[in-house]
Amino acid sequence: MCLGIPGRVTEIYEAGGIRMGKVDFAGITKEVCLAYVPEIQLGDYTIVHVGFAITQLDEESARESLELFTEMGRLNEELNPEEAELAASFPPPRCGARPVKYLDEFRDPELAASMFAEIRAITTRPWAIMEVCGGQTHSIIRNGIDQLLPPEIELIHGPGCPVCVTPLEMIDKALVIAGVPNVIFCSFGDMLRVPGSEKDLFRIKSEGGDVRIVYSPLDAVKIAQVNPTREVVFFAIGFETTAPANAMAAHLAAQLELKNFSLLVSHVLVPPAISAIMESPVCRVQAFLAAGHVCSVMGTEEYRPLVEKYHVPIVVTGFEPLDVLEGIRRTVLQLEGGRAELDNAYARAVRPEGNLPARQMLGDVFEVTDRGWRGIGVIPQSGWRLAEHYRTFDAELRFDVGEIRTQESALCKSGEVLQGLLKPNQCPAFGKECTPRTPLGATMVSTEGACAAYYQYGRFTAASDHSIPLYS
């Protein structure tokens, strides 16, 4: 659910006072909300995330990204989540794991080779760079980028997977609410297999709970409209990329005066997480690759104070292999030159001011709050909750879930993985007790999770990676 998929706008129309449209994704057509991209016209290309267009894209970039998604098998996964999630319940065994790719498998091997050569040429000493986004982690592991870089450069996988960092307490609340008779519990597909303390949402569904996978939060609003006697709850998780879609769902529910719709909100924000990483006395991270799709919504400027305060380079980067390489190249250039600057290496999708209509909606519907991150703990002012005038749609207030006592798996080291203390294949349970078929932690479930990436791309051998804490 973390990625944005490029597609071509084939229809534009109004529905319920909201600008909507049809978007073609390499032959798969979906209804998409266009409210946040008023400039988009018929035939234009856009990046779509959970049913919402978040930014415009040029045709060449869109076509290249679509080819990549098709190659990665992610198109159906993102656009038809219910089908994909059922398939994911029966993933291939370890022997079907795909090995990492090599240089000649890059889309443009010559360009990739010259970028690797330049990075090698400019690197004179060790550097630790964190890629924040789980989509970037998958791109790095799938293409073996970390193995092709000079040994001085270590890539540390960051906590930028929304499914992975949703706190266990919130998963357990979702399980309680989903089990309430008369509730229709709607969620993005990834969340159904995330283990709570005792079970997951798939188990609630198999026990008779009405748990539904939706492509977009607007689908949950429609379900509430056609089921006026049922309580419909949407599990509103994610980073800044996903929050505008959930904000629109709350806004629309208010407009429609829906009394049977609510959101279980667990939104998290990237800049406070970067701040928490840098504040740790044992932090090793020397530069960040910031998540391009988050910045397409929020813009780049909220990173500038972090660059200045911590004297740390932050380079906004896409998720395609060459995007990631370019981000690393620009980062190493800064590090070697003793510079710390905010740099936008994803300018084809990210404007400095971000998406203003989306930011306006976010400011209206949400307010900043402290938020727990699974495996990390509470980070001050690192999340969003519904603002006072939308609190009537807060599922936590509507349902009395009682005291939640959480219990993480004793075997699971996902907290350390999320904090960069361990690489996934250094977890003793990796590939043994814990596989995508039998996940013990969220990082093995999510399509953006680091453990899932290491398993999917055959990284079964523990490397002699650093194990120095990033956080106190």
Distance CA 90, CA 291 (A): 30
Own/partner long-range contacts of 99-103 (Cβ < 8 Å, ≥24 apart): 99/457, 99/458, 100/141, 100/142, 100/143, 100/144, 100/147, 100/457, 100/458, 100/459, 101/142, 101/143, 101/144, 102/144, 102/148, 103/148
Position 413 contacts ligand SF4 (CB under 6 A): yes
299, 420, 424, 436: residue in contact with ligand SF4 (rule CB under 6 A): 424
Q: Which is nearer to ligand SF4, 329 or 437 (CB)?
A: 437
Position 263 contacts ligand SF4 (CB under 6 A): no
Position 195 contacts ligand SF4 (CB under 6 A): no
State the minimum distance, in angstroms, from the CB of residue 223 to ligand SF4.
31
State the minimum distance, in angstroms, from the CB of residue 430 to ligand SF4.
4
State the minimum distance, in angstroms, from the CB of residue 242 to ligand SF4.
22
Other Cβ atoms closer than 10 A to 23 = 25
State the minimum distance, in angstroms, from the CB of residue 85 to ligand SF4.
18
Position 419 contacts ligand SF4 (CB under 6 A): no
Position 462 contacts ligand SF4 (CB under 6 A): no
Distance CA 126, CA 135 (A): 24
Distance CA 262, CA 235 (A): 9
State the minimum distance, in angstroms, from the CB of residue 147 to ligand SF4.
20
Q: Is 232 left (phi over 0), alpha (psi -120 to 50) or beta?
A: beta
Q: What is the footprint of ligand SF4 within residues 6-65 (CB under 6 A)?
A: none
Return the closest-CA partner of residue 99 out of 462, 456, 444.
Answer: 456
Q: Which is nearer to ligand SF4, 368 or 411 (CB)?
A: 411
Q: Compute the chain's Rg from CA coordinates.
A: 21
Terminal Cα-to-Cα distance of the chain (whole angstroms): 30
H or E element in which residue 287 lies: strand 287-291
148, 194, 434, 470: residue in contact with ligand SF4 (rule CB under 6 A): 434
Quote the DSSP letter at residue 254. Answer: H
417, 421, 453, 470: residue in contact with ligand SF4 (rule CB under 6 A): 417
Q: Which is nearer to ligand SF4, 116 or 373 (CB)?
A: 373
Own/partner long-range contacts of 309-312 (Cβ < 8 Å, ≥24 apart): 309/278, 310/275, 310/278, 310/340, 311/340, 312/278, 312/285, 312/286, 312/287, 312/288, 312/340
Distance CA 385, CA 375 (A): 20
In this chain, which stretch among 172-180, 306-314, 320-328, 406-414 interacts with ligand SF4, using CB under 6 A? 406-414
Three-class DSSP category at 347: coil
Position 268 contacts ligand SF4 (CB under 6 A): no
In this chain, which stretch among 52-60, 213-221, 298-306, 410-418 interacts with ligand SF4, using CB under 6 A? 410-418
State the minimum distance, in angstroms, from the CB of residue 446 to ligand SF4.
10
Position 427 contacts ligand SF4 (CB under 6 A): yes
Output the DSSP codes for 420-467. TSS-GGGSTTBTTTB-SSS-SSHHHHSTT-HHHHHHHTT--SPP----
State the minimum distance, in angstroms, from the CB of residue 407 to ligand SF4.
14
State the minimum distance, in angstroms, from the CB of residue 409 to ligand SF4.
7
183, 186, 412, 470: residue in contact with ligand SF4 (rule CB under 6 A): 412
Three-class DSSP category at 387: coil
Q: Which is nearer to ligand SF4, 404 or 462 (CB)?
A: 462
State the minimum distance, in angstroms, from the CB of residue 106 to ligand SF4.
28
Q: Is 226 left (phi over 0), alpha (psi -120 to 50) or beta?
A: alpha
Q: Which is nearer to ligand SF4, 49 or 413 (CB)?
A: 413
153, 451, 453, 470: residue in contact with ligand SF4 (rule CB under 6 A): 451
411, 437, 462, 466: residue in contact with ligand SF4 (rule CB under 6 A): 411
Distance CA 116, CA 242 (A): 33
Largest CA distance in the chain: 66
Other Cβ atoms closer than 10 A to 82 = 13
Position 373 contacts ligand SF4 (CB under 6 A): no
State the minimum distance, in angstroms, from the CB of residue 427 to ligand SF4.
3
# binding residues, ligand SF4 (CB under 6 A): 16
State the minimum distance, in angstroms, from the CB of residue 341 to ligand SF4.
34
Return the closest-CA partner of residue 261 out of 360, 186, 358.
Answer: 186
In this chain, which stretch among 112-120, 326-334, 365-373, 428-436 interacts with ligand SF4, using CB under 6 A? 428-436
Interacting residues toward ligand SF4 by CB under 6 A? 411-414, 417, 424, 427, 429-430, 434, 439-441, 443-444, 451
